[in-house]
Chains A and B, each alone.
Chain A
């Protein structure tokens, strides 16, 4: 499926990256080219092949249910572009 300008704009919107019509038009053939190159993967017969789930055989470890963290509000908020009264703040959201 070709990647056209409309697709680029849709993807950019999903990815929350503002893009001008002009840039979207420029990016479309570029992404289309890359996706065309990637399409060759379709040649590979992967019937009966399981997708890789662990790069190196390993088991998911579980931690114990102990409170070991938190109570670090100053650290959590230290880099905030905007914080007030112990909260991060964002432009008002209407739900």
Chain B
């Protein structure tokens, strides 16, 4: 198993190769209406129902930009510490395709709304000492999504659905700063996490809300960049990692066999685990960009920028640092902050009075374990942060032992009842009544005189047996600390 800190290398016949990766991520902006029309953006509607005459590019139709889409792009830029351009403008990217009704995509080439920024990734969340890395972001621009073509509905025809046509996308372009499948995967996961925190994209990769174009090239370590290929629309972190690996290996094989890499667009086939050339998009890479004359330059004022900044939530890195400062382990802090839903859930738990360390332990083991087991996620958790705080409170004040808390939690999951109610109704309260416990201990020692003999003869491991028997007889309700003390006294 390779060390996470050692550079990733592909070993070919001619030696070691380094892989260079850049990602262009298309993230659908969370908005009610489209970028330039008032049609809805919701996923899964009947074909061509979320289409206005503007989206269908009827003659004489004109675009008017949606403030929210601009705002979300600016907030996203701010979240990655990027340059926000107060003056930007929209350009037309001209090409002909059946999913592109206008014959051009309104995008931003010359003056994007967001300039350079950066995203910090961590290469091994479980290992707090593993090295992190800063991946540069070249730019973020806002553009229109295309419609959708369906090829399997008819033997000789493709069907065109324009529901997605005109939905706002942010194209987030990284610098070619990644050097391994792991880095590419970590970057995409971190970007997704930031977008979800900011609320500018829902990050639903299986619904196409985020897709990555993966630019891969290989070189001998220290050499100039090689020729890159671009594998389009890869829609999961795992697939991105596979694309990097497969494409790098393919390129090494081509070069070592005396071939040359051609700059081209490729497609990933997850079933076969390989990329292939996409010749249909190869014919005309002359997009004739020019400023969209239907739109004036986009000028942002300070008030707008201030509102964007003020509305930014605490971001994952800051939240993680705060958790660590509260004594939570780096690993747990990473787990808790990876996704905005669990982080917000956990924050609510803390606000309800739970102690950070105990809360983190319980959340990452008990709660996440239960969610895993039941196939639920935090958003559909049957236990609310308030209920969890109540449960943890009962542990903290000694009402419940760890094992009792587990029992109570199981019942909470089943019934949805609160912890205190369950404790009350089922008498699951932990007892520290020394008299009762001493009585039970006396009975157990009497019934196991032989083992008492052996214990006293030096077989100290039997202590656990006596604890277990006592707890069992107390139906788990005895305070384990009290049991320990009393047993030691009785066996002395």
| Bound pair (A, B) | yes
A49 at interface, CB cutoff 8 A? no
Residues of chain A with a CB closer than 8 A to B33's CB: 63, 65-69
From B47, B69, B151, B298, contact of A93 by CB (8 A):
B151
B19 at interface, CB cutoff 8 A? no
Interface string of A50-73 (1 = CB under 8 A from B): 000110001111111111111111
- Asked if A70 and B67 make an inter-chain contact with CB atoms under 8 angstroms apart, the answer reads no
CB-CB nearest 7 A-B residue pairs: A68-B38, A70-B39, A65-B68, A69-B38, A62-B67, A87-B159, A69-B52
CB distance from A51 to the nearest CB of B (A): 8
B4 at interface, CB cutoff 8 A? no
B296 at interface, CB cutoff 8 A? yes
- Asked if B156 and A91 make an inter-chain contact with CB atoms under 8 angstroms apart, the answer reads yes
Residues of chain A with a CB closer than 8 A to B479's CB: none
Residues of chain B with a CB closer than 8 A to A94's CB: 151, 280
Name A's B-contacting residues (CB within 8 A). Answer: 13-14, 16, 53-54, 58-73, 75-77, 82, 84-95
- Asked if B296 and A58 make an inter-chain contact with CB atoms under 8 angstroms apart, the answer reads yes
CB distance from B202 to the nearest CB of A (A): 15
- Asked if B160 and A90 make an inter-chain contact with CB atoms under 8 angstroms apart, the answer reads yes
- Asked if B159 and A89 make an inter-chain contact with CB atoms under 8 angstroms apart, the answer reads yes
A65 to B66, CA, bound (A): 6
Instruction: Using CB atoms, name the residue of chain A closest to B52.
Output: A69
CB distance from B292 to the nearest CB of A (A): 11
- Asked if B162 and A76 make an inter-chain contact with CB atoms under 8 angstroms apart, the answer reads yes
- Asked if A65 and B31 make an inter-chain contact with CB atoms under 8 angstroms apart, the answer reads yes
A62 to B54, CA, bound (A): 16
Contact A65/B278 with A14-B284, A73-B49, A92-B157 known, Cβ cut-off 8 Å: no
B263 at interface, CB cutoff 8 A? no
Instruction: Using CB atoms, name the residue of chain B closest to A65.
Output: B68
> What is the interface of chain B mostly: helix, strand, loop, or mixed?
loop
CB distance from B225 to the nearest CB of A (A): 28
CB distance from B277 to the nearest CB of A (A): 11
B312 at interface, CB cutoff 8 A? no
Question: Interface size class for chain B?
Answer: 35 or more
Given A73-B51, A92-B156, A95-B149, 13 additional A-B pairs, CB 8 A? A60-B295, A63-B65, A65-B67, A68-B38, A69-B54, A70-B37, A73-B46, A85-B47, A88-B159, A90-B98, A92-B157, A92-B158, A93-B149
- Asked if A72 and B51 make an inter-chain contact with CB atoms under 8 angstroms apart, the answer reads yes
Can you report 14 residue pairs joining A to B where beta carbons are below 8 Å apart?
A53-B89, A60-B297, A63-B33, A64-B68, A65-B31, A65-B68, A71-B49, A73-B51, A76-B51, A76-B53, A87-B47, A87-B160, A89-B158, A95-B267
Interface string of B78-111 (1 = CB under 8 A from A): 0000000000010000001010000000000000
Instruction: Using CB atoms, name the residue of chain A closest to B42.
Output: A67
B299 at interface, CB cutoff 8 A? yes
Residues of chain B with a CB closer than 8 A to A72's CB: 51-53
Contact A16/B154 with A60-B295, A63-B67, A87-B47 known, Cβ cut-off 8 Å: no
B50 at interface, CB cutoff 8 A? yes
B64 at interface, CB cutoff 8 A? yes
- Asked if B98 and A93 make an inter-chain contact with CB atoms under 8 angstroms apart, the answer reads yes
CB distance from A9 to the nearest CB of B (A): 13
Residues of chain A with a CB closer than 8 A to B65's CB: 60, 62-63
Contact A87/B161 with A62-B70, A76-B53 known, Cβ cut-off 8 Å: yes
CB distance from A67 to the nearest CB of B (A): 5
- Asked if B278 and A60 make an inter-chain contact with CB atoms under 8 angstroms apart, the answer reads no
CB distance from B329 to the nearest CB of A (A): 41
Residues of chain B with a CB closer than 8 A to A85's CB: 47, 153, 159
List CB contacts (< 8 Å) of B255-283 with chain A.
267, 278, 280
